[in-house]
Chains A and B, each alone.
Chain A
Amino acid sequence: MLKRVLIANRGEIALRIQRACRELDMETVAVYSQPDAEALHVQLATQAVCIGPARAADSYLNQDALLTVALATNCDGIHPGYGFLSENADFADACAREGLTFIGPSGDTIRKAGSKSAARDLMKAAGVPVTPGSDGPVSSVEDALAAAERVGYPVLLKASAGGGGRGIRRCDSAEALPAAYAEAKVEARACFGDDEMYLEKLVLRPRHIEFQILADRHGNVIHLGDRDCSIQRRNQKLIEEAPARCLTPELRARMGDAAVRAAKAVGYEGAGTVEFLLDSDGEHFYFMEMNTRIQVEHGITELITGVDLVRQQLRVASGLSLDMTQADVSLTGHAIECRVNAEDPRQDFRPCPGTVEFLHFPGGAGVRVDSHLYNGCALPPFYDSLAAKLMVHAPTRLEAIRKMRRALEEFALEGFPTNAELSYQILYHPTFVRGGCTTAFLEEILPRLLDFNRRVDQHEDTL
């Protein structure tokens, strides 16, 4: 087993990893930027080292500093968490060169899964359904037009190196394609320094279904069920549930198989996620991408499977084989997560970090809160605005919804605005309660939810 792990991250995930390490008797080395000196992950680590100023590029993304600290403190493993360097193949390689165990897949695997067009080819070869599109990159507008003609409009133009919604354009007709192609190419070059483009059919009103994968170095790959992350705004997930209500056991088994095949195709190791789009017919599903890291919403899978995913990551990285088989995995009950972000929905979701003046988390049976906040701590403006993850687990979906409503009613945070009330409103929305949400849902109802919110404000002012 690993003896001492450097946690190259901050916030709640750094805390999450620390907790798993401590339960496995591993020592932890926290790193932090100057504004994070008072952060909870620094307070609770075995030791903590400052690695630079606020800017992420100088601290949490500073590979040299991280490796130097890891070697100087005699760490034998590095856990990258999510975001920052978690899907950076070069960093994984650099760790290996220095003799450190990168807790995650190898650099080669990250590279294979990370390039979107290469991943598509790999998945096709492995028999995982992908959205119909250009086979490989398109080199010219003519190429793109021909491919679009073949799969049918509307289509999406995507940058091979893309992510986070950048370098993507939607086209509804052949007339609009040349302009969109040029625009997306420019954006891709500006954002990723690589303007290779590919094209695929746009699945209208899909659901975002993802499968949690666990793999070890000895070729064992299992999946731990699915999550429905369709409630999102501009590709930012807000509410996730597990398992997805729209999957039949038969479809779940088929998609799970495909996810395992996908992981095997890239030679995966550790915890990862295979994302699918589920067509509105509830029958066809397409491989979207593979995330080679622990995800923000891993907690709900832990709740329904009873498996500690970070613990499994640490075990796999230590060279142990999985201590369970696919047959041991059973999904119990239903779990929901709400992400509480320090952002103001009234002002177009502007991030608004600040100091926590008062904080009260919900509790009780079946409620889990992962957060790095404490009374009086500051949420610095330099990093993402995630403030807390509220999770609930109950025997049925309806009970879970009621539990989450109750939890959000108890939750109190003074000091900066959050999106918690928006989640609360969604939990009452008939479409959500019926389980009929697609990825278009939140954008469609948002104006109305915000209008409602304004009216509540106004009513409170009147009184």
Chain B
Amino acid sequence: MNSIFSKRRARLLAMKAMRDNYIPGDQLTVCPKCGQESPRREVAGNLSVCPKCGYHFPIGAYYRLSTILDPGSFRELNGKLPAGDPLAFPGYREKLAAAQRKTGLTEVAVTATGTIGGQKCVVGVLDNRFLMGSMSAAVGEKITLAIEYATKNKLPLILFAASGGARMQEGILSLMQMAKTSAALARFSEKGLLYISVLTDPTTGGVTASFASLGDIILAEPGALIGFAGPRVIRQTIGQELPEGFQTAEFQLEHGFVDAVVPRTQMRDTLERLLRLHGKGGQP
């Protein structure tokens, strides 16, 4: 009987996920990387990964959660925590309202508890469609609350980063979130708990410089841009040409910043295996 309500929950999350990614009709989708056309149905069936070249289309937060968590296990944490406008920054409120209307999210971060292969965990996702996935005080608070929830309940933590950095409209307050999330993670780490950070396209700025780089295990999606400052800024600053594939996930893997590059279609299985390896009893 419990399974009926969990089926309802799974259905509701699937609807939310589809709201993130829905484009009407069944025309062809053009891949921005290889330029080839694929039927939308085929792309959707492949978790929004180009079936021809493996390009990872950007996806929304709920969509990502629906692909990671066991159906029906999703339970959102602090779903309604809103962004404020602490500096009364001109035009910021309107921008927030427009982003909320467009995405149906209240903020960049969506945090939830759920199970992956039956193992309970806390998952946070940043959504790049909402003001470039920038970190505001509310985002930092949500992430911190999720970390603290995981600490208190002794649960493994998985965070999917996708961000353009700190949100400039909140000035120093958004930069302070770097210290806040890092401190929360330090307390989390002291308890000996597992934190897996997954870097998706793009992970830059203050997010890279704080919680995204603090994972016990750091995974990345193929082709994701990962760095602090962007390549154009670096090129202009140092006045040199940058190496091929600079700041891609593969480049960072080669240089030791990332532990593994995992395609989206294998992400769920990989996470399940990692949780099993590092969980209580540690079964392979």
Q: Chain A residues in contact with chain B, CB under 8 A?
A: 358, 360, 409, 412, 414, 421, 425, 448, 451-452, 455-456, 458-460, 462-463
Contacts of B41 in A (CB 8 A): 458
Q: Are A459 and B24 in contact (CB under 8 A)?
A: no
Q: Are B12 and A459 in contact (CB under 8 A)?
A: no
Asked if residues B24 and A414 are in contact (CB atoms below 8 Å), the reply is: no
Q: Is the CB of A460 within 8 A of B14?
A: yes
Instruction: List 3 A-B pairs, minimum CB-CB distance, nearest first.
Output: A456-B18, A460-B14, A456-B14
Interface residues of chain B, those whose CB is within 8 Å of chain A, are 1, 4-5, 8, 10-12, 14-15, 17-18, 22, 24-26, 41, 44-45, 47, 63, 66-67, 71
Q: How far is the CA of A360 from the CA of B5 in the complex (A)?
A: 10
With a CB–CB cut-off of 8 A, which chain B residues contact A451?
A: 24-26
Indicate which residue in A360, A452, A458 contacts B45 across the interface (CB closer than 8 Å): A458
Cβ–Cβ contact A358 & B4, under 8 A: yes
The CA-CA distance from A358 to B5 in the complex, in Å, is 11
Q: Are B5 and A412 closer than 8 Å at their CB atoms?
A: yes
Question: Bound complex: CA of A281 vs CA of B260, how far in Å?
Answer: 62
The smallest beta-carbon distance between B93 and chain A, in angstroms, is: 20
9 contacts between A and B (CB under 8 A): A412-B8, A451-B25, A455-B22, A456-B11, A456-B15, A458-B41, A459-B66, A460-B10, A463-B71
Rounded to whole Å, the gap between the CB of B112 and the closest CB of chain A is: 16
CA–CA, A459 and B65, complex, Å: 12
Instruction: Determine the chain A residues whose CB is within 8 A of the CB of B15 once the complex forms.
Output: 425, 456
Closest Cβ neighbor of A411 among chain B residues: B8
A462 and B44 contacting across the interface, CB-CB below 8 Å: yes
Q: How close is A415's CB to chain B, nearest CB, in angstroms?
A: 11
The residues of B that contact A360 with a CB separation of less than 8 Å are 4-5
Q: Chain B residues near A409: list those with CB within 8 A.
A: 8, 12
Instruction: Name the distance in Å between A359's Cβ and chain B's nearest Cβ.
Output: 10
Closest A residue by C-beta to B63: A459
A459–B14 touching, CB < 8 Å: yes
- CB-based nearest A residue for B69: A463
Are the C-beta atoms of A455 and B44 separated by less than 8 Å? yes
Known A456-B14, A456-B15; judge A412-B71 contact (CB<8 A).
Answer: no
Residues of A within 8 A of B10 (CB): 460
| Chain A, Cβ-Cβ closest to B45 | A462
Of A358, A412, A414, A459, the residue contacting B44 (CB under 8 A) is: A459
CB of A459 within 8 A of CB of B25, answer no
B18 engages A358 (CB within 8 Å): no
Known contacts A409-B8, A456-B15, A463 near B67 by CB under 8 Å: yes
Q: Chain B residues near A414 (CB, 8 Å)?
A: 4
The answer to whether B24 and A448 touch across the interface, beta carbons within 8 angstroms, is yes
Bound complex: CA A68 to CA B26 (Å): 60
User: Could you say which of A452, A456, A458 has the most chain B C-beta atoms within 10 Å of its C-beta?
Assistant: A456
A458 touches B24 (CB 8 A): no
Q: Is the CB of A459 within 8 A of B18?
A: yes
Cα(A182)–Cα(B266), bound, Å:
64
Closest CB in chain A relative to B268 CB, distance in Å: 8
A458 touches B44 (CB 8 A): yes
Closest B residue, CB atoms, query A413: B4
B280: shortest Cβ distance to chain A, in Å? 26
A121 to chain B, nearest CB (A): 47
CA of A455 to CA of B17, assembled, Å: 10
Q: Known contacts being A409-B8, A448-B24, is A462 close to B47, with CB within 8 Å?
A: yes
B26 to chain A: which residues have CB within 8 Å? 451
Distance (Å) between the CB of B56 and the closest chain A CB?
15
Within the complex, the shortest CB–CB distance from B71 to chain A, in Å, comes to: 6
A17 to chain B, nearest CB (A): 32
Min C-beta distance of A460 to chain B, whole Å = 5
* Residues of chain B contacted by A412 (CB below 8 angstroms): 4-5, 8
**Complex: chain B residue closest to A430, CB-CB:** B101
Q: A452-B24, A462-B44 are in contact. List 8 more A-B contacts (CB 8 A).
A: A358-B4, A409-B8, A455-B18, A456-B11, A456-B14, A460-B10, A462-B47, A463-B14
A452 near B12 (CB under 8 angstroms)?
no
Q: How far is the CA of A456 from the CA of B14 in the complex (A)?
A: 6
User: Which chain A residues border B14 with CB–CB below 8 Å?
Assistant: 456, 459-460, 463
Also in contact, A460 and B11, with CB within 8 A (given A451-B25, A452-B22, A455-B22): yes
Q: Which residues of A sit under 8 angstroms from B11, Cβ to Cβ? A: 421, 456, 460
A425 and B11 alpha carbons, distance in the complex (Å) = 13
